[in-house]
């Protein structure tokens, strides 16, 4: 039996420059209590997960961006089921790390690992936060993908530009400013092009056949730590969803910056919905992102999003840490 299973994506943005050093740090810190598995290709994940399952790991540490976490969790559930998911520890190794940010894990990877081990060494239960996953299907066939956040439309294009321009805080700030200024100065710009699609929220069809963007998320904070959601979702039962059409975005664009921090309430015209829901269906989708991972279907597909299983995430934010044992004690 091993306590910790660590999956590291050497191609992730932060890991790519020093993956060998990070792996050595993991092995020095955890010793024989951990299995450390660098994975360069998706097809390697299943065998590693089976090994972790055979060793009954209690903590699954994932070093990479949000896309890596999404891929690993999807494989884990499709291989092992969701009844005995280990505690998830997101380690900030990628371009997008909003899952770790949502859990309050803003420190470096090795610092997060040391804090987790300090709780274990002190025989204290590590503090956890509970989140639900999204269960996402293209149509009704094939294995579902599990993740924390799904987006399309305007936000899909924003994230696509973000990756193409090299990512990072400076790129994000530059793009956000550009998108805001263009939307104010030129409402006919393609940035505000709508997605032609019928959308069903909890089985009810929305009254319009197009939208600017949709967000579905089980996180409390979105992308760069924004607090955009208006209702409290129940992990495993519901998730937050924001549906916005261009008319509302154009009419209310002066409110959007404030809405990133305090959220906005749904409007009565059906142009904007911000609520906790149990299911979403988006017809004829041509491109979307799950937790930073870009998906471009060959043909338009219907997307079905439902509440997935609950899981626990290590989250020491706001908790008193145990005393550290020194070698001379």
Give the CATH number for residue 87.
3.40.50.10330
Same domain, 223 and 272: yes
Average pLDDT over residues 92-121: 87
Decide if 53 is inside a domain: yes
Same domain, 184 and 269: yes
- The full DSSP string for 33-102 is GEEEEE-SSGGGHHHHHHHHHHTT-SEEEEEE-HHHHHHHHHHHHHHH-STTPPEEEEEE-SS--HHHHH
Same domain, 49 and 173: no
Report the chain's mean pLDDT, rounded to a whole number: 85
Decide if 8 is inside a domain: yes
Decide if 118 is inside a domain: yes
Residue-number span of the structural domain to which 245 is assigned: 149-290
CATH of the domain at 167: 2.60.200.40
At residue 328, does pLDDT exceed 50? no
Same domain, 248 and 281: yes
Decide if 312 is inside a domain: no
User: In angstroms, how far is the first alpha carbon of the chain from the final one?
Assistant: 28
Same domain, 79 and 173: no
Q: Could you tell me the two tokens for 175?
A: 């793009």
Number of folded domains that form the chain: 2
Decide if 283 is inside a domain: yes
Q: In whole angstroms, what is the distance from residue 214 CA to residue 200 CA?
A: 12
Same domain, 160 and 273: yes
Same domain, 170 and 258: yes
∠ CA 229-61-238, nearest 5°, is: 30
Same domain, 110 and 158: no
Confidence band, pLDDT 50/70/90 cuts, at residue 184: very low
Whole-number pLDDT of residue 52:
94
Whole-number pLDDT of residue 166:
59
Decide if 192 is inside a domain: yes
Are the beta carbons of 128 and 271 closer than 8 angstroms? no
Question: Angle of helix 153-164 relative to helix 169-185, nearest 10 degrees?
Answer: 140
Same domain, 51 and 178: no
Same domain, 88 and 165: no
Average pLDDT over residues 316-328: 59
Decide if 310 is inside a domain: no
Are the beta carbons of 105 and 92 closer than 8 angstroms? yes
Final residue of a structural domain among 75, 103, 132: 132
Decide if 322 is inside a domain: no
Q: In whole angstroms, what is the distance from residue 301 CA to residue 319 CA?
A: 44
pTM higher than the cut 0.85: yes
Q: In whole angstroms, what is the distance from residue 267 CA to residue 273 CA?
A: 7
Helices then strands, counting H and E runs in the chain, come out as: 9, 18
Same domain, 61 and 170: no
Same domain, 236 and 177: yes
Q: Could you tell me the two tokens for 211?
A: 């939208």
Whole-number pLDDT of residue 101:
85
């Amino acid at each position: 039996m091993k306590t910790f299973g660590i999956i590291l994506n050497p191609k992730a943005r932060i890991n790519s420059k020093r993956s060998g050093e990070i792996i050595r740090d993991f092995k020095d810190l955890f010793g024989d209590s951990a299995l450390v598995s660098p994975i360069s290709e998706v097809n390697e994940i299943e065998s590693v997960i089976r090994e972790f399952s055979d060793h009954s790991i209690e903590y699954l540490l994932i070093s990479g961006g949000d896309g890596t976490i999404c891929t690993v969790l999807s494989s884990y559930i499709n291989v092992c089921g969701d009844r005995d998911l280990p505690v998830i520890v997101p380690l900030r190794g990628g371009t997008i790390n909003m899952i770790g940010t949502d859990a309050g894990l803003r420190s470096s990877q090795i610092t997060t690992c040391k804090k987790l081990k300090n709780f274990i060494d002190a025989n204290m239960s590590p503090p956890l936060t509970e989140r639900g996953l999204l269960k996402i299907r293209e149509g009704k066939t094939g294995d579902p993908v599990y993740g924390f956040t799904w987006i399309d439309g305007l936000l899909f294009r924003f994230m696509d530009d973000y990756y193409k321009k090299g990512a990072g805080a400076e790129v994000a700030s530059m793009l956000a400013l550009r998108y805001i200024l263009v939307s104010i100065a030129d409402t006919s710009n393609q940035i505000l092009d709508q997605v032609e699609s019928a959308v069903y929220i909890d089985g009810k069809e929305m009254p319009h056949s197009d939208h600017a963007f949709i967000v579905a998320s089980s996180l409390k904070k979105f992308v760069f730590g924004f607090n955009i959601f208006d209702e409290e979702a129940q992990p495993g039962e519901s998730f937050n969803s924001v549906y916005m059409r261009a008319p509302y975005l154009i009419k209310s664009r002066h409110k959007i910056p404030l809405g990133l921090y305090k959220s906005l309430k749904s409007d009565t015209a059906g142009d904007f919905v911000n609520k906790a829901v149990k299911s979403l269906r988006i017809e004829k989708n041509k491109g979307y992102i799950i937790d930073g991972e870009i998906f471009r279907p060959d043909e338009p597909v219907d997307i079905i999003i439902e509440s997935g299983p609950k899981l626990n995430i290590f989250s020491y934010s706001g908790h008193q840490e145990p005393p550290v044992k020194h070698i001379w004690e």
